[in-house]
Amino acid sequence: MSSIAFKPFHGLRRSSAVPSPTSTTTTLSKPAVKFHVSAAKTSPKLSNRNLRVAIIGGGPAGGSAAETLAKAGIETFLIERKLDNCKPCGGAIPLCMVGEFDLPLDIIDRRVTKMKMISPSNIAVDIGQTLKPHEYIGMVRREVLDAYLRDRAKENGANVINGLFLKMDMPKHWDEPYVLHYTEYDGKKGAMGAKATLEVDAVIGADGANSRVAKAINAGDYDYAIAFQERIKIPDDKMVYYENLAEMYVGDDVSPDFYGWVFPKCDHVAVGTGTVTHKNDIKKFQLATRNRAKDKILGGKIIRVEAHPIPEHPRPRRLSGRVALVGDAAGYVTKCSGEGIYFAAKSGRMCAEAIVEGSQNGKKMVDEGDLRKYLEKWDKKYWPTYKVLDVLQKVFYRSNPAREAFVEMCADEYVQKMTFDSYLYKTVAPGNPLEDLKLAVNTIGSLVRANALTKEMEKLNV
């Protein structure tokens, strides 16, 4: 990996030095992005204080929201129960996130430049041949990334509270506060903690798939997947194989509607899988994933076992009054790929930016209309991505023959280029009309072969 040149990509940092907390500018990323600051005409100006906002949940969504608000001079409270939380997560982040969120290189465990997509029949396709020398997929541990973002928010003025959010009293009038009830764990009250309350003007729910904030505003339910992951310490000679390589396995054995993975971390690999439709069989799918990779992780020792629900689609309601949902709480995880870290951080930042804009840097009260601007921008920018990946999952994850066709498609260099360009930079990569036509023909051909194979397999099973 030492041969990879990182300098051409603007915005990479080489140390985790926390930025100075003295800045109160609304510049939120590098290069600087300016946005117009205006408040609703009916929003009253706050007297003798700044706007108060609470963020429930300290993952990428909560940490990014808290930093943005605190930088703008808004009185910010971030409540997180587990400050050492290790969410079961593959931990892949796109290259653009490193620069956009000014992440230091030393929190990235591995820079993946090669991937293997492995079909139900164990046909492996190498992916990554279109990557440029400076391009990679970052692999992080959530406990490291989340803590860094929270610490940076704290350095910029956010109040980080180690506490468990319990419930929220809703205001009866438009200018009354939300009253949050939580248990605070400050090390002085013993293991049971102490009951506490907090009055704020607005609330951002960043508390994951089981969001209590979502329940408080009757945001509705959604389908969810169970993600199961084991961190496995493998021998050093085996770890060399995964130095800059990640693996994805597809097949009914590892998941009927998702995929299994082996992702490299600093000194171990994360092996996991997920499913929506067969949650009770998740341990069986995990065993199958380990078996598919057994020769490469032979001699490994399981050092941590993790499981967590992952949302499958956005909630019916993501906003109510001065309460908005972001990240997993809002349901921002893509189908097909299961990506959520970038979208969590991005949604947290976008929601906070809407509050900063609507409150004129914390000087005025906000209302639902101010927060709705965040949803409008979010849906316009990312809704097509979610719909496309939803279609891909329904088409290619429905049977083993379809998965074989999917892996076959992944061998195409044009498919790889379009996929990586879209993933790494979160923009729709412009296509080549002739290549797009070829891709359409090849896709149809792959699906025809898959359907024919499905029928033959059905005959054998009769």
Residues 256-300: pLDDT tens digits? 999 999 999 999 999 999 999 999 999 999 999 999 999 999 999
Domain boundaries, the chain: 45-85+142-221+315-395, 396-461
pTM of the model: 0.86
Q: Which residue is it, tokens 């959604």?
A: 222
Higher pLDDT, 384 or 37: 384
What CA–CA distance (Å, rounded) separates 30 from 12? 10
Residue 174 — pLDDT band, cuts 50, 70, 90? confident
The CATH fold of domain 45-85+142-221+315-395: FAD/NAD(P)-binding domain (3.50.50)
Pull the structure tokens for residue 179: 């009253």
CA terminus-to-terminus distance, the chain: 51
Q: How many CB atoms lie within 10 A of CB 304?
A: 13
Q: What is the amino acid identity at position 209?
A: A
Bin 391: left if φ > 0, else alpha if -120 < ψ < 50, else beta: alpha
Q: In whole angstroms, what is the distance from residue 83 CA to residue 146 CA?
A: 9
> Residue 428's pLDDT is what?
60
| Residue the block writes with tokens 């961190």 | 231
Q: Among candidates 95, 34, 24, 63, which has minimal Cα distance to 352?
A: 63
**7-59 pLDDT, tens per residue?**
333 333 434 444 443 333 333 334 444 444 444 456 789 989 999 999 999 99
327 vs 434: which has the higher pLDDT: 327
For residue 27, give every residue at least 6 positions away whose Cβ sits within 8 Å of its Cβ, in sequence order, or none: 33, 34
What's the rounded Cα separation, in Å, for the pair 194 and 184? 5
Dig out the tokens for 109 from the structure.
């465990």
Measured CA to CA, the distance from residue 248 to residue 289 in angstroms comes to 10
Mean pLDDT of 126-136: 94
Task: Identify the band that residue 335 occupies on the pLDDT scale cut at 50, 70 and 90.
Answer: confident
pLDDT the model gives residue 87: 72
